[in-house]
Structure 1
Amino acid sequence: MKFQKRRSVIEATQWFAPGDHPAVEERNGAWSVATPEGWHTVQVGDWIITSSEGEVFCMSDALFVDRYEPLVER
Protein backbone atom coordinates (compact mmCIF):
# COMPACT_ATOMS: atom_id res chain seq x y z
CA MET A 1 0.00 0.00 0.00
CA LYS A 2 1.32 3.49 -0.81
CA PHE A 3 1.13 6.49 1.53
CA GLN A 4 1.98 10.15 1.13
CA LYS A 5 3.40 12.92 3.28
CA ARG A 6 3.70 16.46 2.04
CA ARG A 7 4.08 15.52 -1.60
CA SER A 8 6.44 12.64 -0.96
CA VAL A 9 5.36 9.09 -1.71
CA ILE A 10 6.70 6.14 0.28
CA GLU A 11 6.17 2.41 0.41
CA ALA A 12 5.17 1.18 3.88
CA THR A 13 4.40 -2.20 5.41
CA GLN A 14 3.08 -2.66 8.94
CA TRP A 15 5.22 -5.29 10.65
CA PHE A 16 3.66 -7.96 12.86
CA ALA A 17 5.88 -11.03 12.44
CA PRO A 18 9.03 -12.33 10.76
CA GLY A 19 8.57 -12.39 6.99
CA ASP A 20 6.33 -9.31 6.82
CA HIS A 21 9.20 -7.22 5.40
CA PRO A 22 12.52 -8.44 4.00
CA ALA A 23 14.55 -5.66 5.69
CA VAL A 24 13.64 -6.83 9.21
CA GLU A 25 16.28 -9.18 10.63
CA GLU A 26 16.85 -10.88 13.95
CA ARG A 27 19.86 -9.15 15.52
CA ASN A 28 21.16 -9.74 19.06
CA GLY A 29 17.88 -11.40 20.08
CA ALA A 30 15.62 -8.60 18.78
CA TRP A 31 13.95 -7.83 15.46
CA SER A 32 15.71 -4.89 13.84
CA VAL A 33 16.08 -2.96 10.62
CA ALA A 34 19.22 -1.25 9.28
CA THR A 35 18.49 2.47 8.80
CA PRO A 36 20.80 5.25 7.62
CA GLU A 37 21.32 6.09 11.33
CA GLY A 38 22.11 2.49 12.33
CA TRP A 39 20.13 -0.50 13.56
CA HIS A 40 16.63 0.23 14.91
CA THR A 41 14.59 -2.26 16.96
CA VAL A 42 11.23 -3.14 15.41
CA GLN A 43 8.17 -3.65 17.62
CA VAL A 44 4.97 -5.45 16.60
CA GLY A 45 2.73 -2.92 14.80
CA ASP A 46 5.59 -0.64 13.69
CA TRP A 47 5.73 0.50 10.07
CA ILE A 48 8.71 -0.28 7.86
CA ILE A 49 9.08 2.60 5.42
CA THR A 50 11.05 2.65 2.18
CA SER A 51 11.69 6.15 0.85
CA SER A 52 11.73 7.03 -2.83
CA GLU A 53 15.55 6.95 -2.53
CA GLY A 54 15.43 3.35 -1.26
CA GLU A 55 16.33 4.13 2.37
CA VAL A 56 14.55 2.03 5.02
CA PHE A 57 13.17 3.44 8.27
CA CYS A 58 11.02 2.17 11.15
CA MET A 59 8.21 4.21 12.71
CA SER A 60 5.69 3.50 15.48
CA ASP A 61 2.07 3.05 14.43
CA ALA A 62 0.92 6.16 16.36
CA LEU A 63 3.50 8.41 14.69
CA PHE A 64 2.87 6.89 11.25
CA VAL A 65 -0.90 7.44 11.48
CA ASP A 66 -0.29 11.03 12.60
CA ARG A 67 2.04 11.81 9.66
CA TYR A 68 0.80 9.77 6.70
CA GLU A 69 -2.42 9.06 4.88
CA PRO A 70 -3.12 6.49 2.16
CA LEU A 71 -2.33 7.69 -1.35
CA VAL A 72 -5.41 7.97 -3.54
CA GLU A 73 -4.27 6.89 -6.99
CA ARG A 74 -6.17 8.30 -9.93
Structure 2
Amino acid sequence: MARYRKKPVEIEAIQWWKNGDHPDDALPPEHKILPGERSEGRVVRYFRRPEPEYDGQTTHDLCGRIWHDHGWIDTLEGGHTVCPGDWIITGVQGEVYPCKPDIFAATYEPVDG
Protein backbone atom coordinates (compact mmCIF):
# COMPACT_ATOMS: atom_id res chain seq x y z
CA MET A 1 0.00 0.00 0.00
CA ALA A 2 1.35 3.49 -0.86
CA ARG A 3 2.03 6.00 1.91
CA TYR A 4 1.16 9.71 1.84
CA ARG A 5 2.03 12.75 3.93
CA LYS A 6 -0.36 15.59 4.65
CA LYS A 7 0.72 18.78 2.86
CA PRO A 8 1.71 21.61 5.18
CA VAL A 9 -1.26 23.97 5.22
CA GLU A 10 -1.88 26.88 7.57
CA ILE A 11 -5.34 27.03 9.11
CA GLU A 12 -7.12 29.33 11.53
CA ALA A 13 -8.48 27.76 14.71
CA ILE A 14 -9.95 28.79 18.03
CA GLN A 15 -10.63 26.60 21.03
CA TRP A 16 -14.35 26.62 21.87
CA TRP A 17 -15.62 26.47 25.46
CA LYS A 18 -19.07 28.04 25.28
CA ASN A 19 -21.49 29.72 22.88
CA GLY A 20 -20.11 33.01 21.64
CA ASP A 21 -16.43 31.97 21.80
CA HIS A 22 -15.97 31.88 18.01
CA PRO A 23 -15.21 35.40 16.72
CA ASP A 24 -17.69 34.98 13.84
CA ASP A 25 -20.49 34.19 16.32
CA ALA A 26 -20.62 37.76 17.56
CA LEU A 27 -23.82 39.71 17.05
CA PRO A 28 -23.73 43.06 15.29
CA PRO A 29 -23.05 45.93 17.72
CA GLU A 30 -26.54 47.39 17.16
CA HIS A 31 -28.19 44.20 18.50
CA LYS A 32 -28.99 44.59 22.18
CA ILE A 33 -29.39 41.36 24.14
CA LEU A 34 -32.21 41.58 26.66
CA PRO A 35 -31.74 40.23 30.20
CA GLY A 36 -32.12 36.45 30.14
CA GLU A 37 -31.90 36.33 26.33
CA ARG A 38 -29.34 34.04 24.66
CA SER A 39 -27.96 34.74 21.24
CA GLU A 40 -27.56 32.10 18.56
CA GLY A 41 -24.08 31.82 17.07
CA ARG A 42 -23.51 32.04 13.34
CA VAL A 43 -20.79 29.34 13.34
CA VAL A 44 -21.41 27.30 16.51
CA ARG A 45 -25.10 27.13 17.33
CA TYR A 46 -26.81 25.85 20.46
CA PHE A 47 -27.09 22.08 20.68
CA ARG A 48 -30.76 21.14 20.44
CA ARG A 49 -32.27 17.69 20.00
CA PRO A 50 -35.84 16.65 20.88
CA GLU A 51 -34.98 13.12 22.05
CA PRO A 52 -35.05 12.57 25.86
CA GLU A 53 -31.49 11.18 25.86
CA TYR A 54 -30.27 14.65 24.79
CA ASP A 55 -32.04 16.52 27.59
CA GLY A 56 -30.01 19.60 28.51
CA GLN A 57 -29.03 18.21 31.93
CA THR A 58 -28.11 14.71 30.70
CA THR A 59 -24.38 13.96 30.54
CA HIS A 60 -22.63 13.36 27.21
CA ASP A 61 -20.73 10.06 27.52
CA LEU A 62 -17.81 11.22 25.38
CA CYS A 63 -16.75 14.29 27.38
CA GLY A 64 -18.69 14.07 30.64
CA ARG A 65 -20.35 17.49 30.28
CA ILE A 66 -24.10 18.09 30.19
CA TRP A 67 -25.69 18.53 26.75
CA HIS A 68 -26.66 22.10 27.64
CA ASP A 69 -22.91 22.98 27.50
CA HIS A 70 -22.51 21.75 23.91
CA GLY A 71 -22.73 23.41 20.53
CA TRP A 72 -23.65 22.32 17.02
CA ILE A 73 -21.80 23.15 13.83
CA ASP A 74 -22.83 22.58 10.22
CA THR A 75 -19.97 21.15 8.17
CA LEU A 76 -19.58 20.01 4.58
CA GLU A 77 -20.22 16.44 5.81
CA GLY A 78 -23.32 17.36 7.82
CA GLY A 79 -23.82 18.55 11.38
CA HIS A 80 -21.49 17.77 14.28
CA THR A 81 -21.67 18.17 18.04
CA VAL A 82 -19.10 20.53 19.54
CA CYS A 83 -17.88 19.65 23.04
CA PRO A 84 -16.38 22.30 25.32
CA GLY A 85 -12.63 22.33 24.60
CA ASP A 86 -12.94 21.28 20.95
CA TRP A 87 -11.10 23.37 18.38
CA ILE A 88 -13.08 25.04 15.60
CA ILE A 89 -10.96 25.00 12.45
CA THR A 90 -11.46 27.23 9.44
CA GLY A 91 -10.11 25.30 6.46
CA VAL A 92 -8.40 26.45 3.30
CA GLN A 93 -11.71 27.07 1.50
CA GLY A 94 -13.42 28.80 4.44
CA GLU A 95 -15.16 25.64 5.65
CA VAL A 96 -15.47 25.18 9.41
CA TYR A 97 -15.37 21.98 11.41
CA PRO A 98 -14.68 20.82 14.98
CA CYS A 99 -11.58 18.90 16.04
CA LYS A 100 -10.97 17.10 19.35
CA PRO A 101 -8.08 18.56 21.40
CA ASP A 102 -5.89 15.43 21.25
CA ILE A 103 -6.23 15.16 17.45
CA PHE A 104 -5.56 18.90 17.10
CA ALA A 105 -2.39 18.65 19.21
CA ALA A 106 -1.14 15.66 17.18
CA THR A 107 -1.89 17.33 13.84
CA TYR A 108 -1.19 21.05 14.22
CA GLU A 109 1.51 23.28 15.66
CA PRO A 110 1.61 27.07 16.04
CA VAL A 111 2.92 29.11 13.11
CA ASP A 112 5.63 31.63 13.99
CA GLY A 113 4.83 35.24 13.15
Shorter-chain TM-score category?
Answer: 0.7 to 0.9
Write out aligned runs for 1:8-47 (5 A). 8-21=9-22, 22=25, 23-29=43-49, 30-47=70-87
When the two structures are superposed, what TM-score results if normalisation uses the length of structure 2?
0.57
- Give ranges in structure 2 of 5+ residues lacking alignment: 1-5, 26-42, 50-69
Q: Measure, in 2, the Cα distance between the counterparts of 1:8 and 1:18.
A: 27
- Cα distance in 2 for residues equivalent to 1:62 and 1:6: 20
Q: Find 1:56's aligned residue among 84, 96, 101.
A: 96
* Structure 1 residue ranges, 4+ long, deviating more than 2 angstroms after superposition: none
Structure with more strand by fraction: 1
User: Structure 2: how far apart are the matches of 1:63 and 1:57?
Assistant: 13
Report % sequence identity.
42
What TM-score, normalized by structure 1, do the two folds share? 0.84
Secondary structure of 1:70's match? coil
More helix per residue: 2
Larger Rg: 2
Instruction: Determine which structure has greater relative contact order: mean sequence separation of CA pairs < 8 Å that are 6+ residues apart, divided by chain length.
Output: 1
Partner of 2:53: none
What is the total number of aligned residue pairs between the two structures?
69
